Amino acid sequence: MKNKVGFVNYPLQYRNIKEEIDAAMQDVLARGDLINRSDVEDFEQSISSFVGTKYAVSLNSGTDALIFSLKAAGIGSGDEVITVSHTFVASIASIIHCGAVPILVDVGQDFLMALDKVEQAITPKTKAIIPIYLNGRVCDMDKIITIAEKYNLAIIEDAAQALGAKFNNKMAGNFGLTGCFSFYPAKILGCFGDGGMLTTNDENIAEKVYLLRDHGQKTRTDIRCYGFTSRLDNLQAAVLNVKLKYLPEWVKRRREIAKIYDKELSNIEGIKLPPAPDSDNEHFDVYQNYVLRVQKRDELFEFLKERGVETLIKDPIPNHYHKGLDISHFSLPYTEQLAKEVISLPMYPELTNEQVQYVIDCVCKFY
């Protein structure tokens, strides 16, 4: 049947701000400003100000933000980088693409890196930690920073899902050597294709990434290294400049929806909720995803699908189970259990309360 409640609704978001989006795109096209023009510069300055870092370098993806972070930090062949398997494969791939070795640790009940496992995984070859801010929740960065300082490790924040999230009132992307963001369409702030951003307070890192994104060119007559093509298109930057104005409102609405889910689903046996929006004073979550741990997960998925509720089962096979990735030697019991239990409910700011209640009613009916 046709979805009554889709998992995302790109057309509706576009229609809600159509006039502004169309005007911004037409202005770019009329000017002929397509690569590295003022819209890109304005967007970089806006993200830098929003996150609170000195520099923000736009790129073509969050994946390249991770890869360039590692490369700029001097991490390469034989170096070890600690991260998790419970993430999108790009987080791990970025380590491989730099010639380094991913060291995977398990996650905790909040789906984030289990910090008691991190120090156990450190060896003389360890050079960096990549904490993943999955679903829009920042890790306990006080503890990660303490570990990193003790062992002289770089922190590369994978904040792809966490623009606007905070830990102890400090923005994601402003804790480590770099912060890495994605503007893939389904993200909290998404463009009409691929896009990414790297934030940093380190001038040398920013300079290296500026060079890496555009074939090492300082100017047309000054090529300083071998680089890549990884620029954010000016047209996408113009779209993002429009959308960024709505980000605080969209985050507020996501948190409102999370509260409704929490209230209505909290007493159902067989469901474990994610951390609540106001469960502590340290975390400010932005709810890129609202993820349940449930019994009879696959049956629930089909039940909701039959009733027009589109959900997402993310990574039903853990990354380290894919033989082609050559990381199957890791034993991560909690990650492996989550792969059998997690399901994401619809979560986007255009959802009406009536739609949210319909999702809740369907889940309640199943259990």
CATH number of the domain where residue 223 is located: 3.40.640.10
* 233 and 284 within one domain: no
In this structure, the answer to whether residues 195 and 268 fall within a common structural domain is no
Domain containing residue 294: CATH number = 3.90.1150.10
Residue 2 domain-assigned (yes or no): no
Whether residue 261 is found in the same domain as residue 208: no
Which residue range(s) make up the domain with 261?
Answer: 247-366
Domain stop point among 210, 244, 278: 244
Are 199 and 300 within one domain? no
Low pLDDT (below 70) residues in the chain: 1-2
Give the chain's count of helices (H) and strands (E): 13, 15
In a domain, 54, yes or no: yes
Report d(CA 102, CA 106) in Å as an integer: 13
Token code pair at residue 262: 């929490």
Going 94 to 97 to 103 to 106, the CA torsion angle's sign is: positive
DSSP-assigned letter for residue 274: P
Closest CA to 307 of 350, 343, 254, 360: 360
pTM, entire model = 0.96
- If we measure between CA atoms, which residue out of 149, 163, 79 comes closest to residue 119? 149
Task: Classify residue 68: in a domain, yes or no.
Answer: yes
If asked whether residues 193 and 268 sit together in one domain, one would say no
**Is there a contact between 205 and 57 (Cβ–Cβ < 8 Å)?**
no
User: Last residue of a domain, which of 244, 277, 292?
Assistant: 244
308: left (phi over 0), alpha (psi -120 to 50) or beta: left
pLDDT value at position 281? Answer: 85
Q: Is residue 12 part of a domain?
A: no
Q: Are residues 130 and 173 in the same domain?
A: yes
Q: 288 and 332 share a domain?
A: yes
Q: What's the number of domains the chain is made of?
A: 2
Residue 126, CB-side half-sphere exposure with 13 Å CA sphere? 22
What pLDDT, on the 0 to 100 scale, is given for residue 1?
58
Query: What does the pLDDT read at residue 2?
Result: 67
Q: Are residues 175 and 49 in the same domain?
A: yes
Beta strands in the chain (DSSP E): 55-59, 80-84, 101-105, 126-129, 154-158, 166-167, 170-171, 178-182, 196-200, 217-219, 222-223, 271-272, 283-284, 290-294, 342-345
Residues 195 and 334 in one domain: no
Q: For residues 213 and 307, state if they share a domain.
A: no
Does one domain contain both 329 and 351?
yes
Q: For 6-29, b where at least 16 C-beta lie within 10 A, e where not — what string?
A: bbbbeeebeeeeeeebeebbeebe
Per-residue model confidence (pLDDT) at position 278: 79
Residue 10 lies in a domain: no
Residue 268 domain-assigned (yes or no): yes
d(CA 117, CA 120) in angstroms, rounded, equals: 5
Q: Check whether residue 127 and residue 254 sit in a common domain.
A: no
User: Is 13 inside any structural domain?
Assistant: no
* Beta-carbon count within 10 A of 74 CB: 12
- The candidate with the shortest Cα–Cα distance to 293, out of 275, 277, 318, is 275
| Domain limit, last residue, from 202, 222, 244 | 244
Residue 94 lies in a domain: yes
